[in-house]
Structure 1
């Protein structure tokens, strides 16, 4: 399975959303905010971004950094906003006393 990367494409006009299908899989689009969220292959991402930036209806292209965010969390003790200790493993300690 190939690695995928997310791309956010900001548009001048939403008329040409269907034309973006040939560059990758469209995941979400917003007609009001005029952007498209799409996925493409990671190894082809740079050349796809260059081709997208040349299109007349594209305002800006951003790369999604979702794949770089740490998704594994450790269970450890911490402190709340007042400095009181709580245990993340025991949800009852999060309730106010």
Structure 2
């Protein structure tokens, strides 16, 4: 049976994108921005702090930031046309 694994996105800014291949060992690369020189990397939630510390210590990494998507409320309510007319 498949077990869902919680994942966290990390944004890793690098000096050069030639280091992209090295970042694959830390997690799944979801997106790479050649213009801004960052890589969006998905990592298992329980390993985020370890991976972040390790990445910061690398000399090819400028900075590492966590994505705040988990903190956002993703439950949206749309107003219908009837409620807009009543207001």
TM > 0.5: yes
Unaligned runs of 5+ in 1: 76-87
The aligned residue for residue 53 of structure 1 is: 56
> Higher relative CO (CA 8 A, sep ≥ 6), structure 1 or 2?
2
Q: Normalising by the residue count of structure 2, what TM-score does the alignment of the two structures yield?
A: 0.86
Alignment coverage as a number of residue pairs: 81
Q: Tell me the SS of whatever aligns to 1:46.
A: helix
The aligned residue for residue 67 of structure 1 is: 70
1:17-70 deviations in whole A, cap 9, x for unaligned? 010000000000011110000100000000000000011110000000101110
Distance in 1 separating the partners of 2:52 and 2:17: 18
Greater Rg by CA: 1
Q: Tell me the SS of whatever aligns to 1:23.
A: coil
The aligned residue for residue 85 of structure 1 is: none
Q: CA RMSD in A?
A: 1.7
Distance in 2 separating the partners of 1:17 and 1:52: 12
Select 1:89's aligned residue among 48, 58, 80.
Answer: 80
Q: Normalising by the residue count of structure 1, what TM-score does the alignment of the two structures yield?
A: 0.77
The aligned residue for residue 27 of structure 1 is: 30
Unaligned runs of 5+ in 2: none
